[in-house]
Amino acid sequence: MISHGENSRPDDFENDSLKSRVAELTILCEVSRALQRTFNQTKALYTILVGVSAGPGLGFNRAFLLLVDEKERTLKGRMAVGPDSPEAASVIWAQLRGKHKSLGDLLSALDESAIRLDARVNEIAAQFNIPLSDPSHPLIRIMRSHEVARAQNGYFAPHGLAVDPQTSQLLGCDEFAVAPLFLAQRDLGLLIADNAIMRSPIANTNLRMLQIFAQEAGAAIWNTLLYQELVEHIRLQEEANAELRINQERLIQAERLSTMGKMAALLAHEIRTPLVSIGGFARRLLRATPPDDSRREEMEIIVSEVARLEYLVREVLGFSRISQPVRETCDVNALVESVVTHMQESIRQNQVRTQLDLSPGLRPASMDESQMRQAIMNLVTNALDAMPSGGTLSLSTAADGDYLEIGVHDTGAGIIKEHYSKLFTPFFTTKSSGTGLGLVMVSQVVDHHRGSLRFDSRPGKGTSFHIRLPFGQDSAETPASLSPPGKREEVDP
């Protein structure tokens, strides 16, 4: 403590003391103002450390910030400020004084990207990592005491705790000040300051100032923590909102599809009966007309146009009928082969070469075979339509862990980018005779099987569609002949 000695000149002393007090308060005020302006933690921490070690004010040589890491439950060195040597110290402060009028000026000009941390002291800071579960550690005890301490002669005063050798070894000095950072009952960390460079003792006034300063710093750190938390909350909220929006759009789309499907089905059924009449009677007339009659051609037009309409009706009704899959165990290679056999006629007409790349020994999958057959047929139909003047149609199967992949590839014109987003929109088609339901049906079937559908297309090179499906539970079952006797079902003779 500073005492008024009898021989001292009270006026001068009062003057000096007042001057230094004003300087200290100015620094405190400037740092406090700078802290209020920032929510950036790095900037706030740096401001605190600069305030502690700024030449004209508190005047500590070095300052270290240790913060509580809630996740790791440790007190961790986060940042430090201080020169390596007396020479470096004077150079740094001289430079700063040259550039900035005051500390406040320096701090307000501070930009996170411009912060250059001194390597040596930050190496030291990084080595502080004290578990909070160690209540006997002097630094933890001081933090919890919320009272500033000075290490001197191997003891922390006023706590009376022995200085742990590790801390003094890390700092490389025996005398240093420790100020707890806290807000209300919450422990935030510690501010450690020393004069290890100039080797000067720590004045009592500086210790008191450090305590006041630490309170200010605690509030500022608390603010940045709250701010970070807020930012994180907002980010999570935004993510949740975005997800909600996507789901909502999906729901609307599904609802739209369902309504469309119902309307289309209603219309299709109504159309079907008159079509049977028109087409049926036209066929009769055609059969009754002699081969050389010129009206035959006109009747044939009616018959074939009605057939086309009936085909469209079938497609629309088929689409609106896609229900939940009725799963059965299915040999996918055989299914793909049967689709190719079934469509042999169209393949031949388009002069398309087929290539099968089926994974040998592919295990059976659990799926609605008729739905999946229709889906593959739709993809093959599209592939053939993309190759009106020949090409190669390849079908592939492959296993990828628990997933099965069915690929349909063509060497046709490819899909132009502008059409990508519309591909799965009902009634979108680029064909003269398509319904625009084929791919919608495929994607619905794949969806119902909890699979995914993707495509890649290169203009002029061709298009590949990939159906990816889980093999399903059934395929994992042990065949009856291999199951242990106890598990086999008893069958009445």
Distances (CA, A) of 376 to 298, 388, 401, 417, 490: 36, 19, 22, 23, 38
Nearer to another protein, 125 or 282 (CB): 282
User: How far does the chain reach from its first CA to its final CA, in angstroms?
Assistant: 105
Stretch that binds another protein, among 90-98, 187-195, 305-313, 367-375 (CB under 8 A): 305-313
Nearer to another protein, 56 or 318 (CB): 318
Q: Which of 161, 134, 126 is nearest to 74 (CA)?
A: 134
Q: Which of 160, 161, 156, 159 is nearest to 177 (CA)?
A: 156
271 phi-psi bin (left φ>0, alpha ψ -120 to 50, beta other): alpha
Indicate the burial class of 93 (C-beta count within 10 angstroms; 0-12, 13-18, 19 or more): middle
Is residue 189 within 8 A of residue 160, CB to CB? The reply is no
Stretch that binds another protein, among 139-147, 304-312, 335-343, 444-452 (CB under 8 A): 304-312
What is the smallest separation between the CB atom of 327 and another protein, expressed in angstroms?
16
Question: Distance (Å, rounded) from C-alpha 17 to C-alpha 23?
Answer: 10
Nearer to another protein, 283 or 468 (CB): 283
Do β-strands 129-131 and 452-458 pair in parallel, antiparallel, or remain unpaired? unpaired
Nearer to another protein, 29 or 276 (CB): 276
The residue count for binding another protein (CB under 8 A) is: 21
Q: If binding is defined by CB under 8 A, does position 306 make contact with another protein?
A: yes
What is the smallest separation between the CB atom of 428 and another protein, expressed in angstroms?
25
Q: If binding is defined by CB under 8 A, does position 307 make contact with another protein?
A: yes
Nearer to another protein, 274 or 390 (CB): 274
DSSP string, 182-242: EETTEEEEEEEEE-TTTTPPPPHHHHHHHHHHHHHHHHHHHHHHHHHHHHHHHHHHHHHHH
What is the smallest separation between the CB atom of 447 and another protein, expressed in angstroms?
21
Nearer to another protein, 257 or 317 (CB): 317
Q: If binding is defined by CB under 8 A, does position 324 make contact with another protein?
A: no
What is the smallest separation between the CB atom of 311 and another protein, expressed in angstroms?
10
Nearer to another protein, 178 or 282 (CB): 282
Nearer to another protein, 314 or 488 (CB): 314
Nearer to another protein, 225 or 264 (CB): 264
What is the smallest separation between the CB atom of 375 and another protein, expressed in angstroms?
18
Q: Which of 218, 192, 212 is nearest to 60 (CA)?
A: 192
CB-based burial, 232-257: b 16+ in 10 Å, e otherwise = eeeeeeeeeeeeeeeeeeeeeeeeeb
Which residues within the stretch 30-69 sit at the binding site for another protein (CB under 8 A)?
Answer: none
What is the smallest separation between the CB atom of 410 and another protein, expressed in angstroms?
30
Which of 144, 321, 431, 461 touches another protein by CB under 8 A?
A: 321
What is the smallest separation between the CB atom of 254 and another protein, expressed in angstroms?
20
What is the smallest separation between the CB atom of 355 and another protein, expressed in angstroms?
34
Question: Distance (Å, rounded) from C-alpha 36 to C-alpha 224?
Answer: 10
Q: 179: which DSSP letter? A: E
Which residues within the stretch 263-302 sit at the binding site for another protein (CB under 8 A)?
Answer: 269, 272-284
What is the smallest separation between the CB atom of 468 and another protein, expressed in angstroms?
29
Return the half-sphere exposure (C-beta side, CA atoms, 13 A cut-off) of residue 68.
Answer: 20
Residues of this chain that bind another protein (CB under 8 A): 269, 272-284, 303, 306-307, 310, 314, 317, 321
